[in-house]
Amino acid sequence: MFEIKRATVVDIPLIRELCFQVWPHTYRNIITQEQIDFMLDLMYSTSALEFQMKTENCNFVLIYENQLPIGFASFSEIEPTIWKLHRLYILQNQQGKGVGKFLVTYIIEEIENLKATSIQLQVHRKNDAQLFYQKLGFEIIKTADFDIGKGFLMTDFVMEKKLNL
């Protein structure tokens, strides 16, 4: 079965390793390699991950199967009682086995204990992951474009799942 471990700055090299395995496959047909490289540096450099953990209070978790790391996620409270799932990445060869659902369920249970009323996320409008999130009860609440610099845009859906307290 799956095991979840809270990640700390000590785990940043592992998070980066997983990210660099997942990202190119996930986004290669959606955005340019130049944008992939830019975003990996912007969001997944050692200093960026450390900043997210220490300054932005992002909770990072790693998921393991048979003691092997197979994915990670991060989440934080963005407004009182509203949380955001910032990242959810599972190795390609582990997708379709219930890993993502297990991890989202874990996160929802964690934040419900903190009186969360909803959880939001952003997903690229061309990313098939939106269908996965819809199956888990997330709904598109708006379309948004985010200028991330160097002429690149994140063209996303913002999705939300209301939580039952």
Cα 16 from chain centroid (whole Å) = 13
Percent of the chain with pLDDT strictly greater than 70:
99
| Complete DSSP assignment for the chain | -EEEEE--GGGHHHHHHHHHHHHHHHHTTTS-HHHHHHHHHHHHSHHHHHHHHHTS--EEEEEEETTEEEEEEEEEEEETTEEEEEEEEE-GGGTTTTHHHHHHHHHHHHHHTTT--EEEEEEETT-THHHHHHHTT-EEEEEEEEEEETTEEEEEEEEEEE---
Backbone angles phi, psi at 123, to 5 degrees: -140, 135
Question: What is the spatial distance between Cα 28 and Cα 13, in angstroms, rounded to a whole number?
Answer: 23
- Is 117 in contact with 164 (CB distance < 8 Å)? no
Overall size of the chain counted in residues? 165
**pLDDT at position 121, please?**
98
Question: What is the spatial distance between Cα 33 and Cα 40, in angstroms, rounded to a whole number?
Answer: 10
Amino acid at position 56, single letter: E
User: How sure is the predictor about 129, in pLDDT bands with cuts at 50, 70 and 90?
Assistant: very high
User: How does pLDDT run across 52-96, given as a tens digit for each residue?
Assistant: 999 999 999 999 999 999 999 999 999 999 999 999 999 999 999
Judged against a pLDDT cut of 90, whether residue 139 lies above it is answered with yes
Judged against a pLDDT cut of 70, whether residue 165 lies above it is answered with no
**pLDDT at position 137, please?**
97
- Is 61 in contact with 106 (CB distance < 8 Å)? yes
CATH 3.40.630.30 at 2-162, yes or no? yes
- What residue ranges do the domains of the chain occupy? 2-162
User: How does pLDDT run across 86-125, given as a tens digit for each residue?
Assistant: 999 999 999 999 999 999 999 999 999 999 999 999 999 9
